[in-house]
C-alpha cells in the first residue's frame, strides 16, 4: 500500500496510485459506501480500518485554488500533476457501486428496519475488531499511559456526539450552509456519521425532501434550497481536510489515537440491541380509488410495516358513497427515520429482539476483519 510520507507536505506527496491497485481501492470504496448508508457509521470509519485514511485526506487536500484555476484555463496536464484523480476516481467508483447495490439490489436500509440486530451486529463486530487491529499498529513508544489521554478524549467526544438529542433549527440559507459543512466533516471522521449529525441538526429530512422534489414542479425551489448545503459541504471538505492533513503530518500517532477513540465512542449507538425511537414524516399525499390494490393492501394489515417508507390511509374523502368503486381515499407516503436509541441487554429467549441474529452479525463483522487486515497490506 502506498502511503504518504508523514513528514512532508501535501505538495510533496503526489498521487502515486498504481492501476494495479484498482480492484483493492474499488473494494475499499465499496466498504466506505456501504458504511455511509447505515446511520451511526461513517465512510471515514472504513477508510481508517482499511488503511487508506491518510491517502484519502491528502487526496481531498490536493483540490485547491490552483486546481480550479487550471481547470478554468484548460491546463489539464497541470491538473493531473497535482490532483489525486486516479485515487479518488477508483475510490468513488466503489462508493457509487455500493450505494447502487445496497439501495437497488440488496436494500440495506430496509434490512436495518426488518433485521436491525444482524445489520448493526455486523458493524459492531467490525468496529470492535478494527479498534484492536488499529491499536496494535500504534508504535510501542506511543503506548504509555500519557498516550491514553487522546484515546479517552476521542471516545468521550464521540460518545457525546452520538448521544445528542435532535432539536428544532432554522431553515435559513446560512444554517443550511453550516449544516452542510458540519455533515461533510463528520463523514470523513471515523465513528461519527454525517447523516446522524444532520438528524441532530434537524436537516436530514429537510435535505432529503429537497432532493425528492427534483424532477417535479418544485425543481427550481429545491435546487435553490440545496445550493447552500452543497456549498457548505464543499467549503467544509476543503478546509477540514487541511486541518486533518496538518495533524496527520505533525501528530500522526496522537491523531490516530483520537480517531480510534471516536470509533470506541460510536459503539454506543451501533450496539445491535437497542430500544429505538423513530420519527414519522409525511413525504407526499395522493388520491386513490378505494378499490385500488394498494389501498386494499393497507386496509388488510393490522399495523404499519417495519420499513423506512410505507403508505397509510389518512381518510376516506367520500365515505357516504353508495359503492366502494365510487369512493376516494387520501393516501400518505410516510418516511420513518431513526430519532434516538437506547442500548439494552437482550435475553436469549426474548421475542422482542433477534438475539442470535445480533450474535451472528457480530461474528460476521469480526470475521470480516481478517479480510480487511489483508486489504490494509495491499
Rounded CA-CA distance 330/315 in Å is: 6
Instruction: Using alpha carbons, select from 254, 264, 260, 279 the residue that is nearest to residue 340.
Output: 279
334-357 residue pLDDT tens: 988 777 788 999 888 877 788 999
| pLDDT grade for 191, boundaries at 50, 70 and 90 | low
pLDDT tens by residue, 239-284: 888 888 888 888 888 888 998 898 898 888 889 999 888 888 888 8
Region of poorest pLDDT, from 1-10, 93-102, 314-323, 369-378: 1-10
User: For the ranges 56-65, 147-156, 359-368, which has the lowest average pLDDT?
Assistant: 56-65
Q: How would residue 219 be classed by pLDDT, with cut points 50, 70 and 90?
A: confident
Model confidence band, residue 313 (pLDDT cutoffs 50, 70, 90): very high
Q: Is the pLDDT of residue 181 over 50?
A: yes
Predicted local confidence at residue 39, as pLDDT: 62
DSSP 102: I
pLDDT of residue 228: 93
Whether residue 10 has pLDDT greater than 90: no
- Residue 293: which pLDDT band, with cuts at 50, 70 and 90? very high
Lookup: cell for 349:
429467549
Which pLDDT score, from 0 to 100, does residue 13 have? 61
Give the C-alpha separation, 154 to 134, whole Å: 14
**Mean per-residue pLDDT for 112-131?**
87
Nearest to 190 by CA among 93, 49, 91, 57: 49
Looking at every residue in the chain, the average pLDDT score rounds to: 83
Residue whose cell numbers read 436494500: 107
Q: Residue 352 and residue 364: Cα distance in Å, rounded?
A: 22
Interacting residues of 199 by C-beta distance below 8 A, sequence separation 6+? 39, 166, 337, 338, 339
Spatial neighbors of 259 by CB under 8 A, at least 6 apart, are 48, 53, 154, 189, 190, 191
- Residue 97 or 168, more confident: 97
Among the ranges given (23-32, 145-154, 206-215, 346-355), the one the predictor scored with the smallest mean pLDDT: 206-215
Contact residues for 355 (Cβ-Cβ < 8 A; gap 6+):
117, 273, 346, 347, 348, 349
Spatial contact of 253 and 142, defined as CB atoms under 8 Å apart: yes
DSSP H or E stretch at residue 283: strand 274-289
Please, what's the b/e burial string for 6-24 (b: 16 or more CB within 10 A of its CB; e: otherwise)? eeeebeebebebeeebeeb
More confident residue, 377 or 257: 257
Q: Rounded to the nearest 5 degrees, what angle is found at the Cα of 161, between the Cα atoms of 57 and 139?
A: 50
**Distance between CA atoms of residues 162 and 287, nearest Å:** 40
Contacts of 250 (CB under 8 A, 6+ apart): none
What confidence score (pLDDT) does residue 1 get? 41
Cα gap 208→243, rounded to integer Å = 29
**Three cell numbers written together for 327:** 369512493
26-82 pLDDT tens trace: 999 998 888 877 666 678 888 888 889 889 988 888 887 777 787 787 777 777 778
For residues 248 and 98, what is the distance between their CA atoms, to the nearest angstrom? Answer: 28
Residue from 261, 232, 244 nearest 130 by CA: 261
- pLDDT, residue 6, reads 41
Residues 6 or more apart whose CB falls under 8 angstroms from that of 215 comprise: none
What pLDDT score does 360 carry?
94
* Cell numbers representing residue 373 in the block: 487486515
Query: CA 68, CA 203: separation in Å to the nearest integer?
Result: 30
Say whether pLDDT at 108 is over 80. Answer: no
Q: What pLDDT sits at residue 9?
A: 43
Amino acid at each position: 500500500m502506498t502511503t504518504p510520507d508523514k513528514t512532508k507536505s501535501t505538495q510533496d506527496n503526489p498521487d502515486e496510485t498504481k492501476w494495479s491497485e484498482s480492484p483493492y481501492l474499488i473494494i475499499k470504496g465499496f466498504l466506505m459506501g456501504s458504511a455511509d448508508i447505515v446511520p451511526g457509521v461513517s465512510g471515514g470509519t472504513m477508510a481508517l480500518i482499511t488503511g487508506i485514511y491518510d491517502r484519502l485526506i491528502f487526496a481531498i487536500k490536493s483540490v485547491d485554488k490552483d486546481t480550479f484555476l487550471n481547470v478554468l484555463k484548460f491546463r489539464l496536464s497541470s491538473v493531473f500533476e497535482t490532483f489525486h484523480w486516479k485515487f479518488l476516481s477508483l475510490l468513488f467508483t466503489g462508493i457509487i457501486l455500493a450505494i447502487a447495490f445496497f439501495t437497488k439490489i440488496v436494500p440495506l436500509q430496509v434490512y436495518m428496519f426488518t433485521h436491525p440486530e444482524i445489520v448493526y451486529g455486523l458493524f459492531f463486530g467490525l468496529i470492535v475488531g478494527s479498534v484492536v487491529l488499529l491499536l496494535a499498529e500504534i508504535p510501542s513508544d506511543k503506548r504509555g499511559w500519557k498516550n491514553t489521554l487522546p484515546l479517552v478524549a476521542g471516545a468521550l467526544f464521540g460518545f457525546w456526539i452520538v448521544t445528542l438529542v435532535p432539536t428544532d433549527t432554522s431553515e435559513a440559507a446560512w444554517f443550511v450552509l453550516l449544516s452542510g459543512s458540519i455533515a461533510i466533516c463528520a463523514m470523513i471522521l471515523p465513528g461519527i456519521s454525517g447523516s446522524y449529525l444532520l438528524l441532530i441538526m434537524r436537516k436530514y429530512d429537510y435535505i432529503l425532501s429537497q432532493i425528492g422534489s427534483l424532477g417535479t414542479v418544485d425543481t427550481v425551489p429545491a435546487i435553490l434550497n440545496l445550493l447552500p448545503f452543497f456549498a457548505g459541504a464543499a467549503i467544509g471538505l476543503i478546509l477540514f481536510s487541511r486541518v486533518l492533513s496538518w495533524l496527520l503530518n505533525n501528530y500522526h500517532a496522537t491523531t490516530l489515537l483520537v480517531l480510534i477513540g471516536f470509533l470506541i465512542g460510536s459503539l454506543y449507538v451501533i450496539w445491535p440491541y437497542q430500544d429505538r425511537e423513530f420519527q414519522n414524516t409525511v413525504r407526499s399525499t395522493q388520491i386513490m380509488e378505494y378499490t385500488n390494490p394498494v389501498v386494499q393492501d393497507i386496509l388488510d394489515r393490522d399495523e404499519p410495516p417495519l420499513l423506512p417508507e410505507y403508505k397509510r390511509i389518512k381518510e376516506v374523502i367520500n365515505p357516504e358513497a353508495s359503492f366502494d368503486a365510487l369512493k376516494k381515499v387520501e393516501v400518505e407516503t410516510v418516511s420513518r427515520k431513526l430519532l434516538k436509541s437506547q442500548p439494552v441487554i437482550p435475553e436469549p429467549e426474548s421475542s422482542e429482539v433477534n438475539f442470535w441474529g445480533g450474535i451472528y452479525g457480530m461474528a460476521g463483522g469480526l470475521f470480516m476483519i481478517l479480510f480487511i487486515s489483508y486489504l490494509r497490506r495491499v
